[in-house]
Amino acid sequence: MCGLLTFISARGEAHTQRDSIADALESLHHRGPDETGVEVVGTDVVFAHKRLSIIDVALSHEPLPYLDNRYLLTFNGEIYNYLELREELAATCGATFATAGDGEAILAGYHHWGEAVLDRLRGMFAFVIWDSQERRAFAARDPYGIKPLHYLHTRDGVYFASEKKALLPFASSAGAGDAGIDAANLSHYLTLQYVPEPRTLHRGIERIGSGECARYAPGERVLTRRYYRPKFRPTPTPEPEALYRRIQDTLRESVRIHMRSDVPVGAFLSSGIDSTAVVALAREFNPNILTFTVGYDVPGYSEIEVAQDSARQLDVTTIPTKIGPAEMMTALPKIVWHLDDPVADPALVPLYFVAQKAAEHVTVVLSGEGADEFFGGYTIYREPLSLATVHGLPAPVQKGLRAVSKVIPEGVKGKSFLDRGTTPIEARYYGNARMFTEDEKRRLIRAYDPSVRYTDVTAPLYAECRDLDDVTKMQYIDLYTWLRGDILVKADRMSMAHSLELRVPFLDRAVFEVAARVPVDLKLPPHSVETKFAMRRALEGVVPPAIVNRKKLGFPTPTRVWLRTEMYDWAHHILSTSGADKLLDLGYVRGLLDAHRRQDADHSRKIWTVLVFCIWHAIFVERSLDPGIARNESALLTKPVVGSMVS
């Protein structure tokens, strides 16, 4: 695990960037405080990294060489099947290894199998390989986007980095200076509550997408391609019990290999089935696993009591932490700094604090992200089933019902049902988060552009899954929007903020292959409110009975309550003083805040979305807010030598 920053010169002048690379690298110190390295390789490349030592602690220093320094690797992540890959490479290809780590399995696999090595890697990863013989780079990111990888193309060359903040010092030469905000992605953020891949809020800085790889040779352009596309294949089964056994067996195996580590492994534990299942299965391999949970002194929001009860039934220790509005307001600038781009999910805050607590005890934690997207866990996935009576009617009838819905006053029962039932899935579903509508954005954004629509993000995805049923289409959309834009960004950034590695056993290729075949009636059974039905049945006897059918909460936050009380003055001050008013009509948002305080309506999510952007703007654009991140000056692992690779 590490934070990486790599520069490949377009002119053979890599050494000129060495000092600036070393300086920018310190912004990634939290991702790897154990080792720091900056090395100039010949005239072409500067490798810089921050290492969090997890596997093969004594060796596997980066950049990791292979085949007499022909290949060099900088790598963020973990390859969980690295032992099996090393064995196969040695047996079938005659590969030899100088380390005991997983990084060398990537290099040997790349040498012997080429880019097809990506099809064999089981894990989370973002890496850059430099081939000094061919003078070209190969970069890749894991299939589901668990680990981040940004890049910036300038006239000097190409920079790759784990986090965008490390690229900002080099961005002005590419036209992505401090004020270079991408207006289209700001609009998308206000709709979706996150910035959709592959772009960012800074023009010129992009992301390698989930399941994508890239090639680059000095002086050329970065060429990306998608090497992995998840294929849902819902298949009716005459033997559901056999399917449930396969789900349980596959999850157990995934948890087993996700626990491979040379340092202590713990787990997050909330009140729901996803994290509880991970803990229950992990306990089979480590009965002494520590678990961590978070909550509040606000009725209806804390999961601590349920998590503690689950821990007692599983006979594991859980360590709780509680936070209040003061902690949330104090921590938010740090949280936004770590995010790079704003993500307006209030669940970031409890995740930040539970990761902070976990990092006091362990270096690695397991978590339950991905189960909902794989197995059909969101309540909104039931919508196509509830609308089937209308959606299945002939087109002329639907058209007439839609005309009727237009004359029904807002708030009257049945209007929303008719609207949604006569609207195609492609037009009504764009992911789990729905912040500001287009009409609201027209009021909010000072330079509103009506040509920017959420369908810019979703239309290509719907084209890829056009043959699937509507429920499974929603899962596919969420895999490429909500999961990688919100869920995995907050998981990576909030854990790495505390130098804690977070692993997600559900987001495993083998698990997906089983989940992809679950038929709709076993995800969301008719005449039931259950979600993830097949997964829940598969885990009976593994998780406590009270948890099997418990509704998902997922570390909820009481921002709705606090924005009316303890956080009102804080929010009002931000909205009254922010320089983001040049972009957004913050007077309009103050009106939402006051209406929320009067309890005229619940505007908490919209208000939070703008507050997070204002804080982001103050940190990264105005530079008027110091997030309070300590500046680290690290001793280098090795001394850089121009013209050769330091070993």
Q: Which residue has the tokens 């110091």?
A: 626
Contacts of 226 (CB under 8 A, 6+ apart): 209, 211, 212
**Residue 468: both structure tokens together:** 């699937």
Name the 3-class secondary structure at 13.
Answer: coil
In angstroms and rounded to an integer, the radius of gyration of the C-alpha atoms of the chain is 25
Give how far the C-alpha of residue 556 lies from the chain's centroid of Cα atoms, to the nearest Å: 18
Preceding omega of 63 cis (within 30 degrees of 0) = yes
Neighbours of 117 (CB within 10 A): 21
HEC per residue, 264-312 = CEEEECCCCHHHHHHHHHHHHHCCCCEEEEEECCCCCCCCHHHHHHHHH
Give the whole-angstrom CA distance, residue 357 versus residue 348.
Answer: 14
Q: C-alpha angle with apex 139: 490 to 65, nearest 5 degrees?
A: 110
Amino acid at the residue 586? L
| Sheet with 364-366, side-by-side order of all strands | 317-322, 290-295, 265-268, 364-366, 501-503
Amino acid at the residue 252? R
Residue 2 annotated as catalytic: yes
| Sheet with 35-41, side-by-side order of all strands | 35-41, 45-51, 2-9, 157-161, 150-154, 205-207
Amino acid at the residue 615? I
Asked if 544 and 314 count as a contact pair (C-beta separation under 8 A), the reply is: yes
The DSSP bridge pattern shows strands 501-503 and 205-207 to be unpaired
Of 341, 283, 333, the C-alpha closest to 311 is 283
Name the 3-class secondary structure at 330.
Answer: helix
Q: What is the DSSP letter of 95?
A: -
Amino acid at the residue 639? K
Q: What is the DSSP letter of 108?
A: H
Among the options 2, 213, 465, 614, which is catalytic? 2
Give how far the C-alpha of residue 207 lies from the chain's centroid of Cα atoms, to the nearest Å: 12
Contacts of 302 (CB under 8 A, 6+ apart): 295, 296, 322
Amino acid at the residue 498? H
Q: Exposed (0-12), middle (13-18) or buried (19+): which is 428, by Cβ within 10 Å?
A: middle
Asked if 31 and 52 count as a contact pair (C-beta separation under 8 A), the reply is: yes
Q: C-alpha angle with apex 283: 495 to 84, nearest 5 degrees?
A: 75
Give the whole-angstrom CA distance, residue 600 versus residue 290.
Answer: 44
Of 339, 318, 328, the C-alpha closest to 268 is 318
Asked if 138 and 224 count as a contact pair (C-beta separation under 8 A), the reply is: no
Q: Which residue has the tokens 């903020």?
A: 497
Neighbours of 233 (CB within 10 A): 11
Asked if 178 and 159 count as a contact pair (C-beta separation under 8 A), the reply is: no
Q: What is the DSSP letter of 319?
A: E
Catalytic site residues? 2
